[in-house]
A and B are shown apart, each in its own frame.
Chain A
Amino acid sequence: MSGARRAVLALLVLTLPLWLANPYFLHVVIMAGIFSILALSLNLLLGYTGQLSLGHAAFFGIGAYTSALLTLGPEWSFWLALPCAIALAALAGFLIGRLALKLRGAYFVLVTISFAGVIALVSVNWMELTNGPLGLPGVPAPVLGPWSLRAKRAYYYLVLAAVLLAYLVCRRLVGSRIGRAFVAIRENEALAESVGVDVTHYLVLAAVVSAAMAGMAGSLYAHYTRFVSPEVFLFGYTVTMVIMVVAGGKGTLAGPLVGAFIFTALPEALRAVTSWQWQMLTYGVLLVALVFFLPRGIVPAVRAWRVRNAP
């Protein structure tokens, strides 16, 4: 992207709430932002180290519940609850990483699914803590100094800052020695190990950072919808994240962002043009078609197209 285009994009993003007056559209953009963080987080594991976690909804849900419980029970401020949510999700990521990352491929996938399944059942059954299937209503909106961030416009900037932070963390990490170790493990684990890459150390590191980011997204989600229920653990959230990463282009930094925006907007657009029964059916068919024709994802496909048509 050239400098001028980048400046225009930055200007558009920064002024978005000023020209996008429709609150419904703004809501879709905020959700796309939260999903961008989740997609970036999953991409770190799936795209760079090559390990597919299908338990990411667990980290998202742990972040959401931690943040909601701390602001509801002891009435902590959002700015204290957010780091706690991130830390607890990171701890869960560390445990899962330590335990499960000696497994590879489909077996790692299944352990992560099961972990998320157990956590979801705990959230339904531990009535005293989580209020069970009824969920936790009335999660307070964050307050920044004298201002409440309850309005969608204000929340947009909060989410934007979080997306930027997640993006920059990923970019720094991927561009560093650590990122090269990740890619080396993805491409050839035995070879990476033979040149001195501590495979387990780097995989656990990727899992911790990834889980922490998902926890941050969970906290932002809890304080945005202001209601947390066991639905945050739905397998559907994980599936959405995977779709966003793979369709956007795994192992690229722009891919998850592109995927998150397309696949947050797509169901909403489908809802506008078709009836609700056809919405998810079309979504499934589109997903199959996308993987079928662009198995490497949108961003790499666009890049390849540009190279081919370069003057």
Chain B
Amino acid sequence: MAELLQHLVNGLVLGGTYALLGIGLTLIFGLMNVVNFAHGEFYTLGAYAAFAALGLAGANFFVAVLAAIACGAALGAVCELTLLRPLRAESIDTTMLVMIGVWIAMQNAELLVWGGVAKSIPHPFPTAPLRVFVLVLAAGLIVLSYLLIHTTRLGTAMRATFQDRDTAALMGVRIGRMHTVTFAFGSALAAAAGALLGPVFLAYPSMGDLASLKAFSVVILGGLGNLPGATLGGLLLGLAEELGAGYVSSGYRDAAGFVIIILVLLLRPAGLFRKQERIG
């Protein structure tokens, strides 16, 4: 029983961060139609930002998470303005390839700056409260993003852009600015996920590779542009991985995400929870 509880808590902690990753990606993928393979690198960036703030500058945990969010948002905005904006007319393959290039460059820049040895991020908690704390923070961030999309003018403009870009532009929504905001917002959420999960595990340069793929499986599970879907999808994936690793086979832990992608796309291509493509 205690073991099951442990697995459930771990699964929820993983799932909460997967949900953050998935929400960020579902906005970017849904609104901008960019297959963002660099998403996981923003997750890595967040973990290293937290490491720098906690381990080197000696800041507290909240400041570290905020620093990671700021780094993710800033670099995301730069990425969109310099790389994606000039290529908006190009095909989805072209932008995907550019993001693959960004992924390779960011990962190796991290390797260059921090070295290949995994870094353990110091944190002020014993293990069990840390996990609960991470889960609470992740839930808070998810609720905040939901409120942002649903109650603010900015969120309304984002939803309008997702539904019908041309009509939204005619109504005075500045599409270019929406793209920048969306990419920065999605990247900031990925960085927050990295900063939250970093202290639970370790920070290392290639940690983003699997994170990208898991974010994609969350997006597919929840349906494109669906925030509650991505949240539930993230939690489901986290629980499936943790229970699968605990009771079936730990070697196949990372297979859960892949199997989910294949099965959902083949059996319910619109996602588990969705009636039609939408945002919010």
Contact = CB atoms under 8 A, between A and B. Distances in A.
Contact of B265 (A107, A117, A239, A287): A107
A100 B266 CA distance: 7
A114 B101 contact: no
A86 B107 CA distance: 34
Contacts of B217: 110, 114
A281 B254 contact: no
B104 A283 contact: yes
Contact of B98 (A106, A118, A288): A288
A111 interface: yes
A284 B261 contact: no
B83 A292 contact: yes
B102 interface: yes
A77 to B, nearest CB: 34
Interface string B19-33: 000000000010000
A285 interface: yes
Contact of B254 (A117, A286, A288, A291): A117
A100 B107 CA distance: 30
B102 A118 contact: no
A242 B29 contact: no
Interface string B89-100: 010111011101
Interface string B231-273: 0000000000000000001011011011101100110010000
Interface in B98-128: 98, 100-109, 111-112
Interface residues of B, number: 42
Given A105-B92, A117-B213, A125-B252, A242 B97 contact: yes
A107 B220 contact: yes
B209 A292 contact: no
B216 interface: yes
Contact of B86 (A52, A115, A285, A292): A292
Given A118-B255, A121-B252, A277 B112 contact: yes
Interface in B24-45: 29, 35
A110 B92 contact: no
B87 interface: yes
A239 B100 contact: yes
Interface in B124-178: none
A118 B251 contact: no
Contacts of B108: 277-281, 283-284
24 contacts: A52-B96, A99-B266, A106-B29, A111-B265, A113-B213, A113-B216, A113-B261, A117-B258, A118-B258, A121-B251, A124-B251, A125-B251, A239-B100, A239-B104, A277-B108, A277-B112, A281-B104, A284-B103, A284-B107, A284-B108, A287-B98, A288-B101, A291-B94, A292-B98
Interface of A: 46, 52, 99-100, 103, 105-107, 109-111, 113-115, 117-118, 121, 124-125, 235, 239, 242-243, 246, 277-281, 283-288, 291-292, 295
